[in-house]
Structure formats: C-alpha cells, structure tokens
C-alpha cells in the first residue's frame, strides 16, 4: 500500500498532474512526499476522502499554493491550522464527516471560496469571519451542535444554498432575509419556534425546508408561493422556555419572533411611541446613514438597520409590533406542495402568519413616514 502511494505521488510530480486522488488509502498523516522541496506547485485538486487524517500541515499553502479544490471528507481532522487562510485560490473545501470542534477565523481569508462543506462535525459555533467570504455560493453546516448562526453571514452576497439541518438552532438571524442570491434554505430538524417575518420576501428564495421543528407552528406569509417542507412541525405539546409572544387560533399556538413586543389589531389607530421612533430612525438612517451611525449605540443601530419585518401589502417596515392574521395551511396554495404524508390536522397546525401594518389607518404614521 505504501509503495502504491509513493508511486502515485511520484508519477503526479513527474507528469505535473493537476489532479491527485488519494482516497481510501488508510492515511493517518499527511504524506510528506507532497511537502518535500518545492511541493507540488502545479496541483489544483487534491482528493483525500475516507482516510484517517487527524491534522493538516501548517505549510500546506506554501507547498500547494495553487489548490482550487480540497476534499477531506470522512477523516478524523480535529483542528484546521490558521495557515489555511493562505490558500488564496481555493474555491471548494470539503471537511464533512470529521471531528472539528472549532473553525479558525482565518477561514475568512479564503476570498475565492465558493463551496464550503462542514457537515457532520462537532461545531458549536461558527466564526463571524465567514461573512468575509463574498464569493461563497454553498454552505453546508448540517449535523453539528450549532445553536446560532453568525450575524455577519448576510454579508456573503453570493450565497445561494444554505443548509443547517440537524443542529440546535432556536432562531435565524433576520439579516439572512437580506441575502440577495439565496435560493435554497434548509433548517430541518432543529429547535426553531419562529422564522424571520421577512423570510421569503426575496424573489430569489424559492425553496425553504423546515421539516421536523416540533415547536414551529407558524410560517411567514412571504413563503406563500414558495416550495416548502414543514412535515413534522407543530407536534410538540409544549412551547420552549424561551419567552415569546404567541398567537392563538383555536387549539393552535403560534410563537412569534422574540423581537416582537406587541400584537396589534385592526382597530388600533395610534402606534406605540417606540415603534414610531424606530420607523423615523430607520428612514433617517437610509437618508444620512453616516451621521446616524455615530449617534446610535450598536444594539440600537442593528434594530433600525434591520426591521423585524415588512408589511405584506405596502412594504412598511415594522420593528416592535405586528398585526397578524392566521389561516390554516390546508387552505392555501402551499397545501399542494406540502408533503403528502402529513395529515390534514398537522397541515392546519402549520398555520401561516400574515403580517400587516397600521400605516393605512394611522394619519400620524402617514405624516411621519412617506
């Protein structure tokens, strides 16, 4: 086996191969032949799946500087060296099915990275520096121990597919609704109790899968004409202990996002002062963002920059109060794309929340916000 390995690497060096396949070689350490002398400056794709590697060499980028794709699926790698950030040409990195507990911030230096797969590891959090990957198109972090996603993930402006199934997520950052190219979002088998109210507002987002989130009993109305998966939702007898406002429709209780502070009704004629202030600041920030940014603390700036949601009818931003309407999923177009294995009763528990604002009936709001 060792002689076959040496021969494969020798031939690759002699013939200046761009692709090298070292899968299923029972490797427990990175082959030193790849790192000797000048390394393999011409190598672009390295496949080392299903071995027993536990670490990557610190001088990997120095010896293999032109790597475009690196596949390390199904090893025992526990640590990624900080020098990984020096692989400036890397476009695809697969570290699925390893033993990773931590991702170093230097991964944000891989500015050419388009595909990152970290599924089936032991990750409890992801670095905020992932937001620096402006070319990233695919991110798979399913089957980990994540309870949150990085807030800066919305800066990955090229992200098209985000998969985070089978984690411990209780909520999604509402900033994810700003991703302009996101086409598919999969958050199945988590601990979600609610979704951002603007989720689905983007025309690009077409596929949303939130199956098997037992506490999730409501979906934002913007998902009305999307392809969704929500089987196994709304099956829990109790709501999680996170304090959230809830709506009740018959026997169905729908938790709202934690940022919601009040539930309005169609008879309301005056907005709360806090809501009015947020809307005015949001409009002012859009006009003179540089001036306002220095006046507001970061916590308040985040609130006014990213509204809780927008009215489904007039696109008015909302920050602390919502005006919901509930209707059963079985009465909407979504019932046709809902998985056939779901019974009619469970379909109706996955109710849609249709959020509107008070702008049309509130002269004061009309006066303050054009």
Q: How confident is the model over 269-284, as pLDDT tens digits? A: 677 888 888 888 877 7
> In the prediction, which pLDDT does 353 show?
46
pLDDT in the model for residue 309: 81
Least confident segment among 116-125, 276-285, 358-367: 358-367
124: which 2 tokens? Answer: 């409890």
Pick from 179, 125, 186: nearest CA to 155: 179
**How does residue 131 score in pLDDT terms, banded at 50, 70 and 90?**
very high
Determine the pLDDT at residue 197: 86
pLDDT (average), residues 105-122: 97
- The residue ranking higher by pLDDT, 304 or 77, is 77
Q: What's the pLDDT score for residue 62?
A: 92
d(CA 140, CA 103) in angstroms, rounded, equals: 14
How far apart are the C-alpha atoms of 350 and 224, rounded to whole Å?
Answer: 12
pLDDT value of residue 263: 79
For 228-275, the pLDDT digits (tens) are 888 887 765 454 455 667 776 666 677 777 778 887 776 776 778 888
359: left (phi over 0), alpha (psi -120 to 50) or beta: alpha
Q: Tell me what pLDDT residue 250 has.
A: 63
pTM for the full predicted model:
0.82
Using the predicted structure, report yes or no on whether residue 332 has a pLDDT greater than 60: no
User: Which tokens belong to 211?
Assistant: 């199956």
- Single out the residue of 261, 244, 268, 258 nearest to residue 320, CA to CA: 261
pLDDT at 303 over 80: no
Measure the CA–CA gap between 239 and 258, rounded to whole angstroms. 13
Residue 63: pLDDT over 70: yes
Minimum mean pLDDT among 118-122, 170-174, 221-225: which range?
A: 221-225
Q: What is the pLDDT of residue 223?
A: 83
Q: What is the mean pLDDT of the chain?
A: 81
Determine contact, residues 78/100, Cβ cutoff 8 Å.
yes
């Amino acid at each position: 086996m060792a002689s076959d390995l040496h021969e494969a690497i020798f031939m690759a060096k002699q013939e200046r191969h761009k692709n090298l396949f070292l899968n299923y070689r029972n490797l427990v350490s990175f082959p030193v032949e790849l790192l000797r002398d000048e390394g393999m400056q011409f190598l672009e794709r390295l496949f080392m799946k299903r071995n027993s590697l536990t670490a990557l060499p610190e001088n990997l980028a120095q010896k293999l500087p032109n790597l475009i794709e690196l596949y390390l699926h199904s090893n025992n790698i526990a640590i990624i060296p900080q020098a990984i950030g020096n692989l400036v040409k890397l476009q695809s990195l697969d570290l699925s099915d390893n033993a990773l507990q931590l991702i170093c911030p230097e991964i944000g230096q891989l500015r050419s990275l388009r595909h990152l797969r970290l599924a089936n590891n032991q990750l409890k959090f992801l670095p905020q520096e992932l937001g620096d990957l402006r070319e990233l198109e695919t991110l798979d972090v399913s089957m980990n121990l994540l309870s949150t996603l990085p807030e800066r993930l919305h800066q990955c402006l090229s992200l098209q597919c985000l998969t985070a199934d089978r984690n411990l997520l209780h909520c999604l950052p509402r900033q994810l609704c700003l991703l302009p190219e996101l086409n598919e979002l999969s958050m199945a088998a988590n601990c979600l109790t609610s979704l951002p109210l603007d989720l689905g507002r983007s025309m690009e987002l077409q596929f949303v899968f939130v199956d098997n989130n037992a506490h999730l009993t409501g979906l934002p109305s913007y998902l009305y004409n999307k392809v969704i998966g929500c089987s196994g939702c709304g099956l829990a007898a109790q709501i999680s202990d996170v304090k959230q406002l809830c709506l009740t429709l018959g026997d169905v209780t729908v938790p709202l996002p934690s940022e919601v502070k009040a539930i309005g009704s169609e008879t309301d004629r005056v907005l709360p002062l806090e809501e009015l202030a947020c809307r005015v600041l949001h409009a002012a920030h859009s006009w003179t963002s540089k001036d306002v940014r220095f006046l507001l603390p970061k916590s308040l700036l985040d609130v006014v920059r990213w509204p809780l949601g927008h009215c489904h009818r007039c696109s008015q931003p909302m920050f602390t109060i919502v005006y919901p309407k509930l209707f059963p999923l079985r009465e909407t177009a979504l019932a046709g794309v809902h998985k056939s294995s779901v019974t009619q009763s469970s379909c109706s528990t996955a109710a849609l929340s249709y959020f509107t604002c008070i702008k049309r009936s509130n002269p004061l709001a009309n006066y303050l916000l054009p």
